[in-house]
Structure 1
Amino acid sequence: MNADALILQDAAAMAEAVRSGAVSAVALTQASLDRIGATDGRINAFTDVVRERALRRAAQVDASLASPNAARTRELPLLGVPFAVKNLFDIAGLQTLAGSKIERDSAPARGDALLVRRLESAGAVLVGALNMDEYAYGFTTENSHVGPAHNPHDLTRIAGGSSGGSGAAVAAGQVALTLGSDTNGSIRVPASLCGIFGLKPTFGRLPRTGSYPFISSLDHLGPFARSVRDLALTYDAMQGPETHAPRDPGCAQRTAEPVSAQLSHGTRGLRIGVLGGYFRERALPEALSAVDRVAEALGAHQMVELPMVEAGRAAAFLITNAEGAALHLHDLRQRPQDFEPLSRDRFLAGALIPAAWVARAQRVRRLYAEQVARLFERFDILLAPSTPCAATPIGAEWFELNGQRLPVRPNMGVLTQPISCIGLPVCAVPVWGAHASLPIGVQVLAAPWREDLALRVAAALEAAGVAQAPVAAL
């Protein structure tokens, strides 16, 4: 298989081809760069392509394979695999834009984010930075500074957000792997709308060192991929405690708990429930059909309510607004005109929230987490829609749900935000056929630190053909 065809395969297949000598890392990286060049004018997933760096890194991989240490190099799980990251990850020599205009005045990053370094240590090759909502505050990646990210399966529609470029790049076959962030749904929403797999690990599982924060008490970092195997390989490569200062104070400093070897263990014996109530009432038939297909494949027939879910979402809203405003208060005072109008207005509203409200939101959050923990004494896995609907047209401001006209931007995260608030691990799996022509995702939730269970379920769904992530036919 030549490099141009191989770039459309999954990362594990790419790594095996480089490992065996069937293709060079340089040829594979060049194929990725060529596909980005040929397609990104229509998709707008990338804000920066680090061509020279990528080819230099790929040449180093090839040189290592020809060196006395070749045996050790061949063991690397992501050998020669091109990847890209949301532009809130530090990349040495580039400004860390976080989707903004204001950060264009910042100094270039002196080094790479920790997770970028870990993926390159696993053999991967960074090729660029990706489009996103300004300061990660949004669910559509309709960025007014650089233009919207387009959904590769229908270029007239949104890719989701705030990690829209990360979702679009994988769905378009530009790269096999990307990294994004998820504060209120920003991995799961693009994964759902772009028809790929996404993982939001437990809060604190992966260190955030070298990434631009949105809401430090809610931010998660995680991968996107076109297969569960790739998702697990990437997740495993990024795990582990931090060993260098400065450290992420939110990192749990847990030792690595690899999951790749467990993907074939199946779902037998797992207690799986389907979230009802709030999660059925706030989803269109296409989203509910996707959940029902997944539930049927897993033999999951018990409907269950997530306690305090509406209070949990309200708490997440307040914490997001208040913490986000505090982070950007100086620029809100000095450069309000340089924000996107919607982001600016939400941050300004957050600056006016009374401290007593925020304190109460944190108490509600804690009580909510305790209630959900009790639910996981009865269940290992819970299922829910990822988004209330499939991707909406770019520029659409409203969608209809149960006779109500709802704004798109906040409500694409209506089903993900309550889960982010309490830091649960979630794998988003893509389902086709529930909508006439577009994918839509399902959330596979597990208890804290049980990413292995969520990924086992995702792998079983993929093996059964229920969850699939084909490259878009561009």
Structure 2
Amino acid sequence: MTAAEIADAVASGRLTARAAVADALARIAALDGRVNAFTDVTGERALSAADALDARLARGEPVGPLAGVPFAVKNLFDVAGLPTRAGSRINRERPPAGRDGALVRRLEAAGAILVGALNMGEYAYDFTGENVHDGPSRNPHDLAHMSGGSSGGSGAALAAGLVPLTLGSDTNGSIRVPSAFCGCFGLKPTYGRLSRAGSFPFVGSLDHLGPMARSTRDLALAYDAMQGPDPDDPVATRRPAEPVLPGLEAGTGDLRIAVAGGYFARGGDPEVFEAVRRAAEALGAAAVVEIPEAARARAAAYVISAAEGAALHLDRLRTRAADFDPAVRDRLLAGAMIPAPLVERAQKFRRWYAGAVAALFETVDVVLAPATPCRAPRGGETTLVLDGVAMPLRPNIGVFTQPLSFIGLPVAAVPVWPEAGLPVGVQVVAAPWREDRALRVARALEAAGLARAPVAVGMESPPQEAA
């Protein structure tokens, strides 16, 4: 069941919140040994919350639009009683969080019920979903393949049907990459739209938090529940909440939709560009636009990410270098050596680029682009081929996502399935603060049957011996 279906069943009395949560916990117990999406399961807390919600329903009290929906969060979100590990060895030695992160609290205020924390790449500096401390989260559609990262557990938990809703973070693509690899929907909102209070940072000037789900309606429900200013996050916008659910089914006839050409039309496998073509055809979008200086934007995003990430972890690198994932450690050490003038140049370019892309959105409303240059690689692979050149895999999966999050644009990730094999992702990109447009287009693609997020074959029901 989707989150919307569960909430409707609980609110109408056809399903109890306890039954919804108990089912999720049973699926996690039966299936997660194969997928490795969860690092912590908060079963006692979840069942207690479910009983409290059922009691409120019995008294006729309102319970919120996500009543009884089990959800889980990337383990860089604070969860009361757990150390916020952020995928690392070092952080799990920290004291347990004293309270839940802001978005966890907002989802629970809407009736959703937290069932656990999810695997992720160390300190979110990863596109693979392979964690050296907790093991890799695996792609439920083919367990020999990567889930993507760094929100790998968030994508894997959805594709395996363990929960209908997860939260992830996205600095350079960490919601959109696992959404593409695992075949689910994801939303990276505008930078500053959703509070980041109560989460462990990676790059403060680029970090976003957002929902992942198996339908656009579920994305909209979660996104609407989490909106609103938050004094605990100095970056969070003071804009009032702007619900997207009421207009989700409005269609796309009034929207000017284009396909990203140039940089976004080369350097990937044929399947990823074919998915964009199919999406454009389904929407009747024939225009092609070129996002100016996208390659330079990607390079500048890389510089800023490395430098800011290194600055955050410098003391840990000095005293605990051996406790890092070596691949993450080496990238952070390299970031610590980037000359300050280069970072300054990247920031100046960022301001120019934001203005240039804003001008582009005066002529179009939505732009379609591939999410990744390939489908999910096999676990353990370290290289991929871009434009005929073998490149390091871990940093280069984000070639199409980084130029967009670099200036905080809202992007919905949409899963499209080739005739055979693993899914690919299409990015639906809108102007700042226009998440409504991105989600309307994502919903139109879903309604047309092009975008879908099924539970992985073999995961529809728990193994018989575990039942």
Shorter chain as normaliser: what TM range?
Answer: over 0.9
Measure, in 2, the Cα distance between the counterparts of 1:280 and 1:409: 21
**Please, which of 131, 144, 152 is the counterpart of residue 156 of structure 1?**
144
**Please, which of 28, 31, 36 is the counterpart of residue 36 of structure 1?**
28
Q: C-alpha deviations, 1:125-145, integer Å up to 9, x for none?
A: 000000000000010111000
AA of the residue aligned to 1:309 = A
TM-score (norm 2): 0.97
SS in structure 2 of the partner of residue 224 of structure 1: strand
**Please, which of 409, 422, 427 is the counterpart of residue 443 of structure 1?**
427
AA of the residue aligned to 1:345 = D
Q: Cα distance, 1:203 vs. partner?
A: 0.2
Q: Cα distance, 1:317 vs. partner?
A: 0.6
AA of the residue aligned to 1:38 = A
**Please, which of 176, 181, 185 is the counterpart of residue 193 of structure 1?**
181
SS in structure 1 of the partner of residue 415 of structure 2: strand
Q: Cα distance, 1:22 vs. partner?
A: 1.0
Aligned to 1:80: 68
Measure, in 2, the Cα distance between the counterparts of 1:339 and 1:221: 24
Measure, in 2, the Cα distance between the counterparts of 1:248 and 1:282: 37
Q: Cα distance, 1:117 vs. partner?
A: 0.2
Aligned to 2:37: 45
**Please, which of 422, 438, 454 is the counterpart of residue 438 of structure 2?**
454
Q: C-alpha deviations, 1:78-119, integer Å up to 9, x for none?
A: 000000000000000000000000012110000000000000
**Please, which of 166, 173, 182 is the counterpart of residue 178 of structure 1?**
166
Answering whether residue 18 of structure 2 is matched by residue 26 of structure 1, we say yes
Aligned pairs (5 A) from 1:283-302 = 283-302=268-287
Measure, in 2, the Cα distance between the counterparts of 1:126 and 1:236: 17
Q: C-alpha deviations, 1:319-349, integer Å up to 9, x for none?
A: 0011000000001000100000011011111
Aligned pairs (5 A) from 1:72-471 = 72-73=62-63, 76-243=64-231, 247-433=232-418, 436-471=420-455
**Please, which of 40, 48, 51 is the counterpart of residue 59 of structure 1?**
51
Q: C-alpha deviations, 1:416-445, integer Å up to 9, x for none?
A: 0111100000000000126x2111110000
Aligned to 2:462: none
SS in structure 2 of the partner of residue 148 of structure 1: coil
Measure, in 1, the Cα distance between the counterparts of 2:61 and 2:129: 42
AA of the residue aligned to 1:125 = I
AA of the residue aligned to 2:78 = D
Measure, in 2, the Cα distance between the counterparts of 1:405 and 1:345: 20
Q: C-alpha deviations, 1:259-298, integer Å up to 9, x for none?
A: 0010111000211110011111122101001000000001
Measure, in 1, the Cα distance between the counterparts of 2:92 and 2:102: 22
Measure, in 2, the Cα distance between the counterparts of 1:219 and 1:347: 17
Aligned residues of 1:297 and 1:461 also touching (Cα < 8 A)? yes
Q: How many residues of Structure 1 are paired with residues of Structure 2 in the alignment?
A: 458
SS in structure 1 of the partner of residue 115 of structure 2: strand
Measure, in 2, the Cα distance between the counterparts of 1:200 and 1:402: 27
> Structure 1 stretch 391-400 or stretch 27-36: which is displaced more?
391-400
SS in structure 2 of the partner of residue 274 of structure 1: strand
Aligned residues of 1:182 and 1:221 also touching (Cα < 8 A)? yes
Measure, in 2, the Cα distance between the counterparts of 1:448 and 1:416: 16
Measure, in 2, the Cα distance between the counterparts of 1:402 and 1:325: 30
- Where do 5+ consecutive residues of structure 1 fail to align? 1-8
Measure, in 2, the Cα distance between the counterparts of 1:28 and 1:422: 39
Aligned residues of 1:216 and 1:250 also touching (Cα < 8 A)? no
- Where do 5+ consecutive residues of structure 2 fail to align? 459-467
Q: Cα distance, 1:401 vs. partner?
A: 3.2
RMSD: 0.8
AA of the residue aligned to 2:400 = L
Aligned residues of 1:282 and 1:415 also touching (Cα < 8 A)? no
SS in structure 2 of the partner of residue 335 of structure 1: helix
Q: C-alpha deviations, 1:135-194, integer Å up to 9, x for none?
A: 000101110001000000000000000000000101110000000000000000000000
SS in structure 1 of the partner of residue 155 of structure 2: helix
Measure, in 1, the Cα distance between the counterparts of 2:253 and 2:151: 33
Aligned to 1:4: none
SS in structure 2 of the partner of residue 27 of structure 1: helix
Q: Cα distance, 1:385 vs. partner?
A: 0.3
SS in structure 2 of the partner of residue 458 of structure 1: helix
Q: Cα distance, 1:304 vs. partner?
A: 1.2
Measure, in 1, the Cα distance between the counterparts of 2:50 and 2:427: 35
Measure, in 1, the Cα distance between the counterparts of 2:27 and 2:372: 29
AA of the residue aligned to 2:16 = S
> Structure 1 stretch 94-103 or stretch 403-412: which is displaced more?
403-412
Q: C-alpha deviations, 1:51-102, integer Å up to 9, x for none?
A: 10000000111011112xx2422xx110000000000000000000000000
Measure, in 1, the Cα distance between the counterparts of 2:289 and 2:13: 51
Q: Cα distance, 1:402 vs. partner?
A: 3.1
Measure, in 2, the Cα distance between the counterparts of 1:223 and 1:468: 16
AA of the residue aligned to 1:32 = A
Measure, in 1, the Cα distance between the counterparts of 2:387 and 2:317: 37
Measure, in 1, the Cα distance between the counterparts of 2:422 and 2:4: 26
Measure, in 1, the Cα distance between the counterparts of 2:114 and 2:133: 24
Q: C-alpha deviations, 1:369-426, integer Å up to 9, x for none?
A: 1100000000000000001111000001112233211221111111001111000000
